[in-house]
């Protein structure tokens, strides 16, 4: 009996233990899943920011600059919701958008298969291409300047880098009548590993003046599938003067090249008179950058009111420094010149370093950081280097005793942090990178006390490059400060904006969460440290709520911090009735509820994927002929308000955009004007009382563009028309 009772008790204890272990395992598994999710978001955020930063870098370096970078793609990427467009790089990971904004137009694609990838980033005039370069054009855009009643020719090539033929069909989007555009060919075949060029023939009328824009559309079929390349075209017509018969366009060339390489640019030599100009000779200045200009063939005869394309090539010697010069065109009586500015890249300018591939192989080995030569022609040689900062926190008195590049020792000894170390010259050839077996070895543990590392490289041309910081560990959570609303705030609206600020000393921020009554309400994965961040929430019921913000850093430890304030907010609002709304959940102009008709979208106005306030789509306007309008029946209502979220981007000068209303589709009133200075690409909420404009049975709402370029934007999202009792 006693043995039986003991057995039962043992079974009970075992069962309870198993349940406890199961609960612990489940909790641990949930925590691991959360950390893995945070790590995936962090990797995706680092990837899109790296691509965006490199896009800006190559664009600033000038047309034709190419750079290959290594990126890490986490698992869980949704290819259909990831994109490269406008000025946005987007990766959707497990339903969350990780976004980086650029300062330049980008196009192309990025891989979505989990793992490491090398991708090319290439600068073209006006935009940057991201992804493969199987088929490309030698010009990303065409810009030419001519005078009135003048003809000019521009050439563009299609480059086929595939192993089979490329079939190309070209169409023209060109509506200007004052300037005509025709092509020498509309269809052709480009053999494998070769290029083929066509001419664009422009002729301006006597009344033409200013800029005329359009586009070339290349539809290309290769062994790898189909592809479309769109090349913007701009012709600027300048009024010629009798005082300057010979004119060169453009009048300046700012070239950015490596020492020991060549570069070329095309110009138009124009005769602005009706008489023929003969024997136009080109000469370059001496003792400066003009010495690098190769011989330019003379123009024997240039007919009246025509332009001829010329090519200027510079051959920069090794060891050269940045300089200026002048190229003069003259027929003995008339002359014009090109101002030449040549910026020579140093070894440091072409050098890239990346900690994202690095890891500790042991407590003393920091390995596999990536070094790269981004130049397509210049060689980089590392002469010496210093490793910095690890001794700031180190309690083990560690010293550096080996530096290895690509598996080979280039320095051994015993050094403290900050010591300059003469390495055996290590050379990196053009467009080559090394990551595997790059190593720093220390005498004792350098990953247990929160040590951190920087490296300064000095190259044989005297230039230097200092890396950012790599942290061995991070155990400090982010610091979160709540800004508004204040404690006990009473809101008369159901929609409340929660503002906060977050910083993390040792790492970035993976994501932040809005906590309402102790429960996660929203998550934001696109956090910028040190400036105000916001959540917007619409409550459905009046009452008292408590809110806080939690933020998790992107370190391996995934440290979480909050303000711990748990502020009280009171919602005391009158419930509005929604008359009409459109949240742009798809691209259909007929979507939304409560409207009389679908949206009328003129010219370049589109419902587009990306740049949304919520969801995945938004309404986009981008030039002076764009507008969108829609009508709603307001005859049975009063106390009517129009609410929406809007942002503007890339306005210049006097460019504007408008929100307008009309009770009859004839008499319009502008209720909001967006001007240059508001174009910070940040969504803001706007609300307007409509009663004063006549609440008719066909009340029109219009968004209209007053910008001049197709890269100026007005985005609209989450439109509501409501009435409040």
- Residues 130-147, mean pLDDT to the nearest whole number: 78
Q: Strand 489-491 vs strand 567-571: parallel, antiparallel, or unpaired?
A: parallel
Terminus-to-terminus CA distance in the chain, angstroms? 78
Q: Looking at the predicted structure, is the pLDDT value of residue 32 above 50? A: no
What tokens were used for 549? Answer: 């913000």
Identity of the highest mean pLDDT range in 80-84, 208-212, 338-342, 503-507: 338-342
Q: Strand 135-137 vs strand 277-284: parallel, antiparallel, or unpaired?
A: unpaired
Phi, psi of 255 (to 5 degrees): -100, 140
Q: What is the residue-averaged pLDDT of the chain?
A: 87
Q: Quickly state the pLDDT bin for 237 (edges 50, 70, 90).
A: confident
pLDDT score of 1: 47
Distance of alpha carbon 404 from its chain centroid, rounded? 35
How far, in Å, CA of 523 to CA of 710, rounded?
33
Q: Looking at the predicted structure, is the pLDDT value of residue 31 above 70? A: no
User: Could you read off the pLDDT of 540-561 as tens digits, one per residue?
Assistant: 888 999 999 999 988 766 789 9
Cα dist. 549→443, 516, 554, 567, 570 in Å? 43, 9, 16, 10, 17
Q: Quickly state the pLDDT bin for 592 (edges 50, 70, 90).
A: very high
Higher pLDDT, 534 or 321: 534
Q: Looking at the predicted structure, is the pLDDT value of residue 21 above 60? A: no
Sign of CA dihedral 82, 84, 87, 91: positive
How far, in Å, CA of 484 to CA of 110, rounded?
38
Q: Quickly state the pLDDT bin for 533 (edges 50, 70, 90).
A: very high
How far, in Å, CA of 261 to CA of 498, rounded?
54
Higher pLDDT, 33 or 528: 528
pLDDT score of 13: 61
> CB-hemisphere CA count at 13 Å for 358?
22
* DSSP β-bridge partners for residue 632: 699
pLDDT score of 507: 78
pLDDT score of 132: 65
User: Could you read off the pLDDT of 675-709 as tens digits, one per residue?
Assistant: 999 999 999 999 999 999 999 999 999 999 999 88
Residue 13 neighbours by CB distance under 10 Å = 10
Q: Looking at the predicted structure, is the pLDDT value of residue 2 above 50? A: no
Q: Looking at the predicted structure, is the pLDDT value of residue 20 above 60? A: no
The architecture (CATH level 2) of 479-571 comes to: Sandwich (2.60)
pLDDT score of 9: 61
Identical fold between 140-239 and 479-571: yes
What tokens were used for 615? Answer: 């969801």
Helix (H) or strand (E) holding 449: none
In this structure, whether the domain defined by 577-723 belongs to CATH 3.40.50.720 is answered with no
Higher pLDDT, 670 or 135: 670
Helix (H) or strand (E) holding 123: strand 115-124
Cα dist. 252→205, 247, 267, 340, 710 in Å? 26, 12, 10, 6, 25
| List of residues 6+ apart from 608 with CB closer than 8 A | 587, 617, 618, 619, 620
Q: What is the CATH number of domain 140-239?
A: 2.60.40.2310
pLDDT score of 8: 54
Q: Looking at the predicted structure, is the pLDDT value of residue 411 above 90? A: yes
- Asked if 324 contacts 255 with a C-beta cutoff of 8 angstroms, the reply is no
How far, in Å, CA of 390 to CA of 411, rounded?
18
Q: Quickly state the pLDDT bin for 28 (edges 50, 70, 90).
A: very low
| List of residues 6+ apart from 287 with CB closer than 8 A | none
Alpha helices in 271-358 (DSSP H): 347-350
pTM: 0.40
Share of the chain above pLDDT 70, in %: 93
How far, in Å, CA of 598 to CA of 595, rounded?
7
pLDDT score of 318: 75
Fold of 347-471: Immunoglobulin-like (2.60.40)
User: Could you read off the pLDDT of 348-368 as tens digits, one per residue?
Assistant: 988 999 988 888 888 899 999
pLDDT score of 23: 55
SS3 720: strand
User: Could you read off the pLDDT of 312-350 as tens digits, one per residue?
Assistant: 999 988 778 889 999 999 999 999 999 999 988 888 988
Alpha helices in 435-590 (DSSP H): none
Domain boundaries of the chain, sorted by first residue? 36-131, 140-239, 347-471, 479-571, 577-723
User: Could you read off the pLDDT of 287-304 as tens digits, one per residue?
Assistant: 999 999 999 999 999 998
């Amino acid at each position: 009996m006693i043995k039986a009772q003991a057995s039962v008790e043992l079974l009970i204890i075992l069962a309870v233990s198993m349940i406890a272990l199961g609960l612990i395992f489940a909790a641990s598994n949930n925590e691991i899943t959360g950390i893995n999710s945070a790590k995936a978001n962090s990797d995706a955020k680092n990837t899109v920011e790296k691509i965006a930063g490199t896009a800006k870098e190559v664009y600033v370096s000038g047309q034709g600059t190419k750079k290959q970078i290594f990126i890490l793609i986490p698992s869980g990427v949704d290819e259909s919701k990831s994109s490269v467009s406008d000025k946005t790089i987007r990766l959707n990971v497990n339903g969350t958008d990780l976004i980086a904004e650029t300062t330049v137009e980008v196009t192309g694609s990025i891989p979505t298969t989990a793992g490491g990838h090398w991708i090319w980033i290439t600068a073209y005039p006006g935009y940057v291409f991201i992804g493969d370069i199987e088929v490309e054009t030698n010009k990303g855009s065409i810009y030419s300047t001519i005078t009135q009643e003048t003809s000019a020719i521009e050439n563009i090539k299609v480059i086929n880098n595939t192993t089979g033929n490329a079939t190309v069909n070209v169409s023209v989007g060109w509506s200007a009548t004052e300037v005509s555009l025709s092509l020498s060919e509309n269809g052709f075949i480009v053999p494998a590993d070769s290029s083929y060029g066509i001419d664009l023939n422009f002729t301006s009328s006597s009344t033409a003046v200013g800029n005329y824009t359009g586009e070339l559309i290349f539809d290309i079929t290769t062994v790898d599938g189909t592809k479309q390349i769109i090349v913007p075209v701009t012709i600027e017509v300048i009024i010629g003067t009798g005082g300057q018969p010979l004119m060169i366009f453009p009048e300046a060339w700012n070239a950015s090249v490596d020492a020991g390489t060549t570069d070329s640019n095309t110009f138009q030599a124009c005769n602005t008179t009706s008489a023929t100009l003969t024997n136009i000779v080109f000469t370059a200045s001496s003792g400066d950058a003009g010495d690098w200009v190769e011989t330019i063939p003379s123009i024997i005869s240039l007919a009246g009111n025509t332009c001829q394309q010329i090519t200027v090539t510079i051959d920069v010697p090794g060891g050269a420094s940045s300089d200026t010069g002048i190229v003069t065109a003259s027929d003995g009586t008339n002359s014009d010149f090109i101002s030449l500015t040549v910026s020579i890249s140093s070894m440091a300018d072409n050098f890239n370093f990346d900690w994202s591939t690095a890891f500790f192989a042991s407590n003393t080995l920091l390995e596999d950081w990536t070094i790269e030569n981004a130049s397509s022609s210049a060689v980089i040689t590392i002469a010496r280097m210093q490793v910095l900062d690890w001794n700031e926190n180190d309690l083990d008195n560690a010293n550096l005793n080996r530096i290895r590049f690509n598996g080979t020792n280039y320095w051994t000894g015993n050094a403290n942090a900050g010591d300059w170390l003469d390495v055996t010259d290590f050379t990196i050839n053009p467009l080559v990178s090394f990551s595997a077996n790059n190593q720093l070895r220390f005498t004792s543990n350098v990953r247990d006390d929160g040590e951190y590392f920087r490296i300064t490289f000095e190259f044989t041309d005297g230039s230097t490059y200092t890396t950012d910081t790599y942290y061995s560990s991070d155990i400090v959570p982010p610091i979160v400060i709540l800004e508004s609303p204040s404690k006990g705030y009473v809101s008369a609206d159901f929609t409340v904006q929660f503002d906060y600020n977050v910083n993390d000393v040792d790492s970035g921020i993976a994501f932040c969460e809005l906590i309402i009554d102790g429960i996660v309400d929203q998550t934001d994965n696109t956090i910028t440290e040190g400036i105000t961040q916001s959540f917007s929430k619409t409550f459905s019921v009046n009452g008292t709520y408590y809110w806080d913000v939690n933020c998790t850093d992107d370190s391996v430890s995934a440290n979480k911090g909050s303000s711990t304030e748990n502020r009280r907010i009171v919602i005391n609002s009158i419930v509005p009735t929604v008359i009409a709304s459109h949240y742009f959940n798809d691209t259909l102009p007929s979507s939304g509820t409560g409207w009389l008709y679908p949206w009328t979208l003129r010219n370049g106005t589109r419902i587009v994927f990306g740049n949304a306030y919520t969801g995945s789509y938004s309404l986009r306007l981008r030039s002076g002929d764009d507008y969108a309008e829609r009508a709603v029946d307001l005859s049975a209502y009063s106390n009517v308000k129009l609410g929406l979220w809007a942002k503007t981007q890339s306005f210049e000068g006097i460019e504007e955009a408008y929100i307008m209303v009309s009770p009859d589709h004839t008499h319009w009133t502008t209720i909001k004007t967006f001007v240059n200075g508001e174009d910070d690409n940040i969504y803001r909420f706007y609300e307007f009382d409509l009663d004063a404009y006549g609440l008719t049975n066909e009340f029109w709402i219009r968004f209209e563009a007053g910008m001049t370029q197709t890269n100026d934007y007005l985005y609209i999202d989450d439109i509501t028309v409501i009435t409040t009792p």
